[in-house]
Structure 1
């Protein structure tokens, strides 16, 4: 019987962010469950937008035991889920994500950046948001076809809801989880793009706190792994714990 595979999308996306990956999965092995996170897509109006709320949604939707994979923001949520219910997560796959900003000074600076962007978001159209989000240096080098597909997913959101999400589950709002991760015993795979220098550094940090973790580097890919390298992401998911 196939295992349930819960896939959590990144900030500003929806469950459709996983569309390029789904055809690459072995359906005899996995039954994908692909929810929207609070403040996004079909859950744009669900409040409060918090990590605890997102954890509750995932655990309510998932069966007793499941494989869990999260990308970027979804990876941060996935870590909260794994820590809240480690007996239910059989394997954990973290794609282009981190366990939080460790220095309080840096975290405070990120909170200020997030609040400024959230305030801007409340005045934007969704098209203006998509333009600004895609223009970030983090996403430089995204292949044109991946960028077109990604933009279509960004446009499925509401900018005011995204502003609330940024305030509730943004990187600046999240207390770091690095020390707590040491308690996890399930197999963990960390996936990062070869061009994604910022998150490659986080991958090295995962090696320190999770010595059982496998780190997979996807050569030539940037931060947008599910849309840039869906076959490689699927292979990393299916190789996890094998």
Structure 2
């Protein structure tokens, strides 16, 4: 069951209240988990049982996704707004400089949190922001097509597709290399999360000019890329390594863009190794 915390952030028009939904489990040093665009905190469910054996795990619904309301109209979805907002969220729940792991958009946010020294270590799984212009246009076009498909399918059709491995491939093969492993309930839930994400279009708009171009010195950083990532192609991992030369670059064989479901044990090990 998600908990929601509210806090105040500054906007051009003055203070605004932001609410963030999250789930917390386990014990040990805190570990913040950040999902990608159009997804929700349940993307991390396959790895949380392992992570929670060693970490106080905090899985977040980013603003405008999952159970978190969208940001106020005068609060931007850009990197320099959302990353400090997550720092304020951590303060609001009594967490000081957690480890962080993020996927896609969440990976980009994790690197920004590291650059701002708001976290202890960074694990970025297929992070956004290391694309060329054509690669970004391809990724954004694919995401828009996924959103349109999620919006156009009636719920009975989504539920029917979710009951078979072939149907789950139709629903989720863009982000998973092994979509048949996703449970029917999860496939339905994340398709609806994509359809209902109020922050989807504003996040894409904010991301048009974003590239991560800074180092993250003084912190353990791992950048991991799925060998079968169809959304952010794996050559972007090489660019990420050149941009963040102190990072460890790890390949995730047999994994797609959202690797937590494709190989939970491997992803958990990468995160824990970095946070140790």
Which TM class, normalised by the smaller chain length?
0.7 to 0.9
TM-score, structure 2 length as denominator? 0.69
Which residue does the alignment assign to 1:77?
A: 109
For residues 225 and 149 of structure 1, do their structure 2 counterparts lie closer, same or farther at Cα, with a shift above 3 Å needed? Answer: farther
TM-score, structure 1 length as denominator? 0.78
- Structure 1 position 154 matched with structure 2 position 179: no
Q: Distance in 2 between matches of 1:141 and 1:110?
A: 16
- Structure 1 position 187 matched with structure 2 position 220: yes
Say whether the 8 Å CA contact 2:46–2:264 is kept in structure 1: yes
Say whether the 8 Å CA contact 2:97–2:118 is kept in structure 1: yes
Say whether the 8 Å CA contact 1:6–1:34 is kept in structure 2: yes
1:34 to 54, 59, 67: 59
Deviations 1:92-135 (A, max 9, x none): 100122324343x6656766776677677666656778979955
Q: Distance in 1 between matches of 2:206 and 2:88?
A: 26
Which residue does the alignment assign to 2:164?
A: none
Q: Between Structure 1 and Structure 2, which shows a larger proportion of helix residues? A: 1
Higher CA-based Rg: 2
- More deviation in 70-79 or 88-97? 70-79
Name structure 1 gaps, 5 residues minimum.
Answer: none
Q: Distance in 2 between matches of 1:184 and 1:217?
A: 22
Query: Within 5 A, what are the aligned runs for 1:61-76?
Result: 61-62=89-90, 63-76=95-108
For residues 108 and 41 of structure 1, do their structure 2 counterparts lie closer, same or farther at Cα, with a shift above 3 Å needed? Answer: closer
2:212 to 161, 165, 178: 178
Which residue does the alignment assign to 2:77?
A: 50
Name structure 2 gaps, 5 residues minimum.
Answer: 1-26, 162-167
CA RMSD in angstroms, aligned pairs only? 3.4
Q: Distance in 1 between matches of 2:110 and 2:170?
A: 24
For residues 2 and 114 of structure 1, do their structure 2 counterparts lie closer, same or farther at Cα, with a shift above 3 Å needed? Answer: closer
- More deviation in 92-101 or 232-241? 92-101
Which residue does the alignment assign to 2:21?
A: none
Q: Distance in 2 between matches of 1:127 and 1:169?
A: 29
Deviations 1:169-225 (A, max 9, x none): 22873433332x225431110112222264321111111111211122122222220
Query: Within 5 A, what are the aligned runs for 1:87-102?
Result: 87-102=117-132
Q: Distance in 2 between matches of 1:224 and 1:7?
A: 13
Q: Distance in 2 between matches of 1:136 and 1:116?
A: 12
For residues 57 and 196 of structure 1, do their structure 2 counterparts lie closer, same or farther at Cα, with a shift above 3 Å needed? Answer: same
For residues 80 and 174 of structure 1, do their structure 2 counterparts lie closer, same or farther at Cα, with a shift above 3 Å needed? Answer: farther
Q: Distance in 1 between matches of 2:236 and 2:199?
A: 23
Q: Distance in 2 between matches of 1:128 and 1:76?
A: 34
Say whether the 8 Å CA contact 2:217–2:246 is kept in structure 1: no
Shift of 1:230: 1.1
Q: Distance in 2 between matches of 1:66 and 1:39?
A: 22
Say whether the 8 Å CA contact 1:115–1:166 is kept in structure 2: no
Which residue does the alignment assign to 2:245?
A: 211
The 3-state SS of whatever aligns with 1:42 is: coil
